[in-house]
Structure 1
Amino acid sequence: MKQTDICRPFCSGTFCITLNQDKVDLKTAEASCQDRNGELMTFESEMDENIFDILRQELHGNFWIGLRLPSSACSNLSAPLRGYKWASSSVHGSFIPSFSTWKDSVKVCSPHCVSLSNDRKWTERPCSDKTDGYLCRTKHRDACQAQGLSDPDVFQSSKGCSDAPCEHICSAVRGGYKCSCFKGYIRDSQDPRQCKMHCEQQKCPAICDKHTDSACYCPDGFLNTDKICEDINECTMDSCDQECENTFGSFVCSCREGFLLKHQVKCIQAEHREGFVHATPITIGSVRPAANNDTLLSSSAPAGGFLWLWIFIVVAVAVFIFVIRFYVVKLQKRREQNSIQQSSGPVDNIEC
């Protein structure tokens, strides 16, 4: 399996030490090691020190190890381990690495844990701090190659789906969880735990509230007509300065030869760029409609503004035609009245 970038194994004999580059607190780091059938790194023998000499070249920052101060205890600066205890019950409390060097000499009494850096120094810090990563000890040589960890859609968590991290559907997997969405939605690229409405064709059924069937919504860039979401063709609204290609829910602007696209919709003269053509897809922004609004349009793209401008023009033309017709009819009636009055006027007497 493909090895992940945030976890690297350093193995010797029957066990491995894994370097995990994930900024988390100690509790999360400890749970993550347990999910991989391991535990936070502890030093049990000189072999551990030899492995550390190899992996220390890869340490950039501070990494949690399995050494913590017992609750309701204060550190003892005169003791080699300062009163800290190894997290593993298999480690003899008397074992002390030869390079054990503390970075600071300050007595602490609140819950503290220890991180290790590449200069072989131990740093006392609150267990709630987020370090640059953590070191795990495991007997599994495949610790960094588990399917759940190599899947980019997996969120690492020891709690899985227990705290409902996904907006729609949560699936627990080894080492974490995966989020998915209901039909008519896709995962939000800004936050894959959230979902947003999506349509991959020109028309899609609107998504309506089950309790109030009158409240129906459409994805950005679509118009709701009788509970059918129909793609808005932004290219008919002069959305682009030059070339325009309509896409479902959005549009793409491009420029002719010798021009450069600016601000996604404008084309400017390109200096010393002969034959240069550029196109940029327009991303329709998200707007949450009011309860009595059945149309969802863009807020960040000019589609909504052009739509209202187009409606205003159509209404203005209709009013103009109505006014012209009104005056034409009125003028025609006046002419008819004048004609009748002339025909009914006095007639000279004719003598026989």
Structure 2
Amino acid sequence: MKMNTLASICILLSLKFGFCSTCRPFCSGTDCITLNQDKVNFETAENTCRDRKGALMMFHSEAGERIFDILSRELHGDFWIGLRLPAGACSNLSAPMRGYEWTSAGAHSSFIPSPSTWRDTRVVCAPHCVSLSSDRKWTERPCEVKTDGYLCRAKHGDACQAWELSDPTFFRGSESCSTAPCEHVCTVVKGGIRCSCFKGYKPDSKDPRRCKIHCGQEKCPARCDKNTGGSCECPDGYLAAGNICEDIDECSMNGCSQECQNTFGSFVCSCQEGFVLKDLVKCIRPTPVIEAVAKPDKNGTLTGSSATTGSFLWIWIVTAVAVVRLYL
């Protein structure tokens, strides 16, 4: 009880004054969910989870439910989870999931929410995503809205610590902002500096000190330079149509060999049951592996056995044929 009170105080101080950590892990066994208190839009939350070797939270197991029972006591506000309407779709109020899909690549959840899980009863269209609050309600809201934070799935209890250490925009050392190390904004923080970008930009994954154009929705104003004859620039994955940048639907261009989900500025491929994803876009059947397993016979002697008796039969046949040919 005392620890829960202290944790709640820490979260409230963090929200109001920036004290304490902005990331806290809640674990059950090897499954963990991290509560991240950065106010960001859906795409930023999704990319941040992915960059940190995780994914936005999805409901798929009893372990996840147990974690949420603990986590819900610490939620104050609305937090993004991994549900988004496919591009061009509108919600279907008669379906349990209303047409929303989990954003984790290859995710197939059997979780079925009850009608009371949804907060609103109105039809909305993409781009809409889902946030979760402490009363377990799911709220549909535009994906570009900034919520109070987001929930990520992870596989280790020190996920928050590991993620903070791997923050690509943080540069540890004695370097100061006076040398202009960041292209846009430089902030002095404990142990080093942090680079950030102006609105409409995001850190370049190849060089986090620099910034590149970012949209985060279907259409955005193009960045036009009057000094170069009015030439306009769009983010990766967008095409310029006059002064507007429009998202390219890679799925309509057969970007994936099987299942395809278009995202703003990119796309995500997934595979049907019985296939695995290779090179991000191809679906192939996994190569069967024959494993030899040692097991005791009736006399307690260890003998080798394979996945199938037929496999060894063919090996003996091929070997016998090779020996016969050798002596002929």
TM range (shorter): 0.3 to 0.5
The normalised TM-score by structure 2 is 0.46
The normalised TM-score by structure 1 is 0.43
Structure showing greater Rg: 1
